[in-house]
Amino acid sequence: MRVFVAGGSGAMGKRLVPQLVGAGHEVVAMTRSGPKAAALRALGAEAAVADALDRDAVLAAVERAEPEAVIHQLTALSELKSFRNFDREFALTNRLRTEGTDHLLAAARAAGARRFVAQSYGGWTYERTGSGLKTEEDRLDPAPPKRQRQSLAAIRHLERAVTEADGIEGIALRYANFYGPGTGLELGGNFVELIEKRKFPVVGDGAGVWSWVHIDDAAGAAVAALERGGPGVYNIVDDRPAPVSAWLPALAEAVGASPPRHVPAWVGRIAAGEVGVSMMTRIRGASNAKARRELGWEPRYRGYEEGFRDGLADVPVI
Ligand SMILES: NC(=O)c1ccc[n+]([C@@H]2O[C@H](COP(=O)([O-])OP(=O)(O)OC[C@H]3O[C@@H](n4cnc5c(N)ncnc54)[C@H](OP(=O)(O)O)[C@@H]3O)[C@@H](O)[C@H]2O)c1
């Protein structure tokens, strides 16, 4: 299939493009930069240079590529520093999820693409009450912390625009938190550095449940979604979401760091704000049953225990 990948040069794109090429797809990958265009060609893709926020440029790039499908993996989180001012840190990502999505969808339709697969998120976005793992049927949080409202609104926009698009099969993949090569949670990555310096403590009871997914498993889900699954949303998470109080010590051990410090919620609030405390104590994990059933996707790293132990270093993609 001829596939246009927006975000082909990012943490996700670098793992996705080789998987697509390896599966026999023809890939045109978008970047804003000349040097990254050369890197994309080295991965086996054609490169398209355009800014995702420039509607005319996106329309022209997608039209030239003549894709049968478009994959949207645009985010701008490489400068992410803390959860404290969440919406401020996510501001550009939120634009990519609203304006960027609208431009790409318009371009995909104009170019005659029949399928559209977009990156969404499934973690803190779900309602922070109830037991068990959240399914796609469960509602998104009607009352997120104040500084997460714009970011949740952007995700709602993306999911609605993609799954309700006229004349195109739209799929939104609700990814868990990424780890693995090229992400901040790889050996030597900025998140691992925080763990090594014991600057990422367990806050309060650490009962917030985080879903995880290895970046190669996440990329594999986008490849699967090109060919299988009806329009809609799918959680792309591993089999064993876990509370912070369990995965954070396991992560520290996996990277050879001392166990994390524990701080009370009021201290966490000073450092990480209401959003940070909520992420550490209240959020829920998600179920991957639908993606397994309908996309035929299954994660190679089934839980954080083996993922953090074996999946943080770079290994060949295919
Ligand atoms: N679910 C999750 O846990 C999750 C989700 C997303 C990101 N992250 C993490 O966040 C960190 C940073 O990743 P990232 O993917 O945000 O950053 P990144 O690795 O810098 O990738 C961003 C991608 O989006 C493209 N992009 C951004 N703005 C664009 C624009 N205006 N026009 C065209 N392309 C644009 C970039 O292209 P060019 O720069 O080449 O133009 C690049 O391909 C990583 O650790 C990643 O794992 C985690």
Q: Could you read off the pLDDT of 128-141 as tens digits, one per residue?
A: 998 889 999 999 99
Amino acid 90: pLDDT? 97
The answer to whether residue 195 sits within a structural domain is no
**Mind listing the pLDDT tens digit for each residue in 29-66?**
999 998 999 999 999 999 999 999 999 999 999 999 99
pLDDT band at residue 76 using 50, 70 and 90 as cut-offs: very high
The minimum-distance atom of ligand 1 relative to the CA of 6 is 34
- DSSP string over 185-220: SSTT-HHHHHHHTT-SPEETT---EE-EEEHHHHHH
Whether 80 has a pLDDT exceeding 90, the answer reads no
Residues having CB closer than 6 A to ligand 1 are 7-13, 30-33, 36, 51-53, 74-78, 96, 121, 175, 177-178, 183-184
Indicate if the pLDDT at residue 300 is higher than 60: yes
Give residue 278 CA to ligand 1 midpoint distance, Å: 25
Instruction: Classify the phi-psi angles of 307: left when phi > 0, otherwise alpha if psi is within -120 to 50, otherwise beta.
Output: alpha
The average confidence (pLDDT) of the chain is 96
List pLDDT tens digits, range 231-253: 999 999 999 999 999 999 999 99
Which atom of ligand 1 has the smallest separation from the CA of 176? 1
Domain assignment present for 255: no
Side-chain half-sphere CA neighbours of 238 within 13 A: 25
Question: Is the residue at 6 inside a domain?
Answer: yes
Residue 206 falls inside a structural domain = no
pLDDT of 317 > 90? The answer is no
**Cβ pair 163, 240 in contact under 8 A:** no
Q: What is the mean pLDDT of residues 216-225?
A: 98
Spell out the residues 6+ positions from residue 47 whose beta carbon is closer than 8 angstroms to its own.
28, 29, 30, 31, 36, 37, 38, 40, 41
Roughly how many angstroms between the first and final C-alpha of the chain, as a whole number?
19
pLDDT per residue over 145-155, tens digit each? 999 999 999 99
What is the extent of the structural domain holding 90? 2-180+213-237+287-301
Question: What CATH number does residue 56 fall under?
Answer: 3.40.50.720
Flag whether 17 is in a domain: yes
Q: What pLDDT digit, counting tens, does each position of 179-194 carry?
A: 999 999 999 999 999 9
CA–CA separation, 268 and 275 (whole Å): 10
Number of domains present in the structure of the chain = 1
> Cα separation of 197 and 226, whole Å?
41
Q: Is the pLDDT of residue 318 over 60?
A: no
Q: Separation of 93 CA from ligand 1 center, angstroms? A: 8
* Residue 69 located in a structural domain: yes
Which residue has the least CA distance to atom 29 on ligand 1? 52
Predicted TM-score (pTM) of this structure: 0.97
50 domain residue, yes or no: yes
Q: Identify the pLDDT of residue 132.
A: 87
244 domain residue, yes or no: no
